[in-house]
């Protein structure tokens, strides 16, 4: 399957990756911009900001529910067709969000918008890795994720500008248009990739019976929570601790996106040579940088450099995407999609624990140490995964030797 796909796409692999990355750009733009647009749509819908926060939670819930559900239901579909269908759902959900008449309908439409998020990235990763040799899989997954990271640099500021200049509804309409653009690009450039023989919902659900799938998801759900713990309160820290202007704060937030982008360009090169060691190194990197957060926060230069370094740790998502495809064996669609359910779990866990630390009187910078502990927690799950893998490999080797000895082949 892989060789035939490569032959059909030939020199157009770059266009395929671009098409897939456009979808990541669309998803990243609406996911991150909605947080900064919260005061605007709260006022427009006649609700207070805490209530408006439920709109963001509704999207995250849609991601968690939609990733496994749509991956399983679409197991028998051609992957290009499935990608187009997922982006159609995304475009419609965001278009409806733009015309939501009230808060309750907005909750429904944001939930619908989140449903295709995880499944899209999972299927896009499978399509991208089918185009290249084994030793370049993480690199191409990183290229797909560049759309998501680039959204934090360009898409979010542009969406915010639209929201303030002509109204918050246009920001959601913009995301819907990006979804439609993705559908066009995927239809033009992505290869036909029929489902493999025997593919179906039951086989995909088989991924849930594999311990390494759950352990890998645990690494992301816990270890990635540290990054979200800090990023969620970064704007408040820049205001209350660093004492910078709104313009400078916006630039520093963009530096975070630059760090994400650099991480997804550089780290996958090493991950394709040593996947699990790269994941462990990223967790240590995150723990150290997050622990330094309280010390860097008062100085604008130091916090800018550190935010860039924290962003690099976001490459963990790309590394774990490849790891999940490895350990899922013949149920890669569901496992790849679940990666984004895990990260949305981290997106809930990190800010929740960071918020508890702030509310407990430990200060605005306390999410840094909290995030470091979460990164170390992820490192603990990583170590457990390695331990289980080595024990399994030893048992398999011992069983193979026993079979050889009994058959007198060895």
Domains in the chain, start-ordered, CATH in brackets? 1-199 (1.20.1250.20), 203-410 (1.20.1250.20)
> What average pLDDT does the segment 32-40 reach?
80
> What average pLDDT does the segment 64-80 reach?
89
329: left (phi over 0), alpha (psi -120 to 50) or beta: left
* 58-67, 218-227, 365-374: least confidently modelled range: 58-67
> What average pLDDT does the segment 207-225 reach?
91
Q: What is the model's pLDDT at position 10?
A: 47
> What average pLDDT does the segment 237-241 reach?
90
C-alpha–C-alpha distance, residues 194 and 77, integer Å: 7
198: left (phi over 0), alpha (psi -120 to 50) or beta: left
- Which residues lie below 8 Å from residue 283, measured CB to CB, with a gap of 6+? 219, 223, 316, 375, 376, 378, 379, 382
C-alpha–C-alpha distance, residues 116 and 88, integer Å: 9
How confident is the prediction for the chain on average, in pLDDT? 88
Q: Band of the pLDDT at 340, cuts 50, 70, 90?
A: confident
C-alpha–C-alpha distance, residues 156 and 48, integer Å: 23
Q: What is the model's pLDDT at position 28?
A: 92
Q: Band of the pLDDT at 5, cuts 50, 70, 90?
A: very low
Q: What is the model's pLDDT at position 212?
A: 93
């Amino acid at each position: 399957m892989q060789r035939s796909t490569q032959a059909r796409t030939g020199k157009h692999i770059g266009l395929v990756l671009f098409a897939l990355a456009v979808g990541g750009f669309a998803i990243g733009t609406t996911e991150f911009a909605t947080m900064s647009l919260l005061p605007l749509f709260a006022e427009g819908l006649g609700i207070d900001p805490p209530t408006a926060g439920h709109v963001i939670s509704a999207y995250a819930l849609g991601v968690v529910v939609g990733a496994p559900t749509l991956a399983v239901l679409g197991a028998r579909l051609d992957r290009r067709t499935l990608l187009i269908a997922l982006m159609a759902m995304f475009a419609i959900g965001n278009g409806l969000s733009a015309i939501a008449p009230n808060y309750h309908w907005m909750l429904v439409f944001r939930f619908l918008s989140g449903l295709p998020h995880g499944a899209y990235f999972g299927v896009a990763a499978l399509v991208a890795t089918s185009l290249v040799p084994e030793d370049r899989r993480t690199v191409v997954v990183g290229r797909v994720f560049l759309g998501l990271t680039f959204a934090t640099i360009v898409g979010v500021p542009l969406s915010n500008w639209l929201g303030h200049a002509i109204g918050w509804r246009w920001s959601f309409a913009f995301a819907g248009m990006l979804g439609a653009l993705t559908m066009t690009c995927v239809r033009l450039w992505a290869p036909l990739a029929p489902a493999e023989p025997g593919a179906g919902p039951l086989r995909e659900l088989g991924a849930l019976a594999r311990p390494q799938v759950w352990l890998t998801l645990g690494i992301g759900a816990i270890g990635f929570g540290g990054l979200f713990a800090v990023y969620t309160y970064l704007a408040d820290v820049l205001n209350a601790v660093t004492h910078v202007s709104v313009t400078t704060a916006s630039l520093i937030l963009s530096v975070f996106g630059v760090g994400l982008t650099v991480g997804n360009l550089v780290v996958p090169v090493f991950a394709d040579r040593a996947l699990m060691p790269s994941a462990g190194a990223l967790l240590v990197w995150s723990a150290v940088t997050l622990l330094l957060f309280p010390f860097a926060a008062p100085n604008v230069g130091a916090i800018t450099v550190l935010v860039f370094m924290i962003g690099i740790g976001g490459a963990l998502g790309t590394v774990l995407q490849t790891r999940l495809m490895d350990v899922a064996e013949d149920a890669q669609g569901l496992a790849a999609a679940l990666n984004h359910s895990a990260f949305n779990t981290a997106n809930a866990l990190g800010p929740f624990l960071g918020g508890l630390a702030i509310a407990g009187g430990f200060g605005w910078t306390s999410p840094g140490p909290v995030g470091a502990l979460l990164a170390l927690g992820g490192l603990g799950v990583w170590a457990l995964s390695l331990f289980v893998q080595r024990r399994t490999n030893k048992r398999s080797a011992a069983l193979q030797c026993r079979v050889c000895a009994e058959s007198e082949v060895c």
